A and B are shown apart, each in its own frame.
Chain A
Amino acid sequence: MKLPMTLGGLMVAAGLFATSAHADKLDDIISSGTLRCAVVLDFPPMGSRDESNNPVGFDVDYCNDLAAALGVDAEIVETPFPERIPALMSGRVDVGVASTSDTLERAKTVGFSVPYFAFENVVTSNEESGINSFDDMKGKTVGATAGTFEAIALQAQVEEWGEGEFRPYQSQADVFLALSQGQIDATVSTSTVAQANVKSGNFPGISVVGKAPFDIDYVALFTNREEYGFINYLNLFVSQQVRTGRYEELYAKWVGGELPDLSAAGVTR
């Protein structure tokens, strides 16, 4: 009788000890041996699937690099754009490597690292629509991916124009499908995605026609906003990726062309 009691006491004490020594997310990831990244996989070249439906892309490689730096295995969790933050908040993933714009509104809920990539937004139109610039979209039916930086900006623009229609689709793929089918006349998306989709040849009759006058869309890694230790690690990791030339290497591999500057002029972050 006495032995089980002692054992029980020991276990309770051990339990108390384990909870009192506060393990933060960084510790949790290292001890669990797996880093779970939220990645959007219909967003080429940042994330997509190859012929055997395995995840590939810039964000996938970035997640693998981060896992390697932490000395753990990477697990890619596919999340559609609108589900990125819920996936993090519900503990299904540890970090988002999902081309997420670091808006102030979102920073009220999640914690962002420094930018790890920067997008420019461009207008892609269906050739039959006769749209040749951003302003030509006035009064037309346009669409973008629900919950993204460019969708929020474009919707506001359509409301400001006071004519035309805005349609948010659930995924980038649905947007380009709708565009090539002629359901929408034009879309605003990040230049990398637009180029990748036009080049893929999957969508006949669409072309990139010009830049969208939105701010440069800096995207950052994100995790729970109170995990300062982990955010600090992420910041250093982003910096190291640039310093070691890995960022340039990945950019050349997946995107190509002129390397975007990750720092805004005149301010530190």
Chain B
Amino acid sequence: MFNYTFQWNQALARLPQMLDGALVTMQIAILSMAIGVLLAILLTGCRLSGIRVLQGFAVTWVEIARNTPALFQIYMAHFGVASFGIHFSPFTSLLIGITFNNAGYLAENFRGALKAISDTQSRAGRSLGMTPVQAFRYIVLPQMLRIAYLPMTNQMVWAILMTSLGVTVGMNSDLYGVTQDLNALTFRTFELFAIAAVIFYVITKVIGLGARLLATRLFRY
């Protein structure tokens, strides 16, 4: 049917290496997501703080993260900051780039979620003697995370997909990097990348399913 000989065996023989790469990919995505959520909460706090400098900082972060390509952000985290003499390994650069992006998008999601929480609630908390930080921590934050849960799962999938951009900063241990290295050795481009695509698909589906299971545990009331 096709004037092309598929050599799946040659590509499948490399599957263990690719699965190792998939682990690194997941590691980066999970780390970047965990740090990203914390930073996004901080950024949201900055925005709510009413302090000009903090607000400006948070807005700048969010707008740059949301209005430039992720590839640009990762490239900047490696080659851009090195102009100031700051050196990050490919792993760190990729992690910083994705985390920066995650935090920006998540902060914006959190801001949307906050609109749905009426401020009478935190005022009620304040009148019970809570400090502003306590009111945020115990009343606003849990609801905010719950409303923003779905966008957070989407961002997690994005984080997985973004790891593929690490090759531009010399990353070769993640799934895409491993696949590209193998491609340079054997040139079985189609077979290798088709397998990588299937692995990525399975990972994103597993994450979607995991997130749904987690949601039923976290939010049952």
Contacts and interface: CB of A to CB of B under 8 A. Distances in A.
Contacts of A169: 169-170
A146 B185 contact: no
A199 interface: no
Given A146-B184, A147-B184, A181 B170 contact: no
Interface residues of A, number: 29
A229 interface: no
Most buried by B among A85, A168, A182: A168
Interface in A5-28: none
A170 interface: yes
B69 to A, nearest CB: 16
Nearest to B3: A226
A181 B79 contact: yes
A152 B169 CA distance: 18
B143 interface: no
Interface in B163-221: 167-172, 177, 180-181, 183-189
A174 B168 CA distance: 9
A152 B184 contact: yes
Interface string A163-177: 001111110001001
Nearest to B85: A182
Point out which of B83, B87, B170, B188 has the most chain A C-beta atoms below 10 A from its C-beta.
B170
Contact of A177 (B79, B184, B186): B79
Contact of A146 (B85, B89, B180, B188): B180
Contact of A181 (B82, B177, B186): B82
A147 B179 CA distance: 11
B111 interface: no
Interface size class of chain B, counting residues whose CB lies under 8 Å from the partner chain: 20 to 34
A48 B186 CA distance: 27
B47 interface: no
Give the dominant DSSP class at B's interface.
helix
B22 to A, nearest CB: 19
A18 B32 CA distance: 58
Contact of B79 (A106, A143, A166, A178): A178
A82 B184 contact: yes
B170 A143 contact: yes
A181 B89 CA distance: 12
Interface in A94-122: 105-106, 108-110
Given A85-B187, A167-B172, A146 B79 contact: no
Contacts of B185: 105, 152
Interface of B: 78-79, 82-83, 85, 87, 89-90, 167-172, 177, 180-181, 183-189
10 contacts: A89-B187, A167-B171, A168-B172, A170-B168, A174-B170, A177-B79, A178-B82, A181-B82, A181-B87, A183-B82
Given A146-B167, A177-B79, 11 more contacts: A105-B187, A106-B187, A108-B187, A147-B183, A152-B184, A167-B90, A168-B172, A168-B177, A170-B167, A170-B168, A174-B168
Q: Which 6 A-B pairs have the closest CB atoms?
A: A147-B184, A167-B170, A181-B82, A109-B187, A169-B170, A85-B187
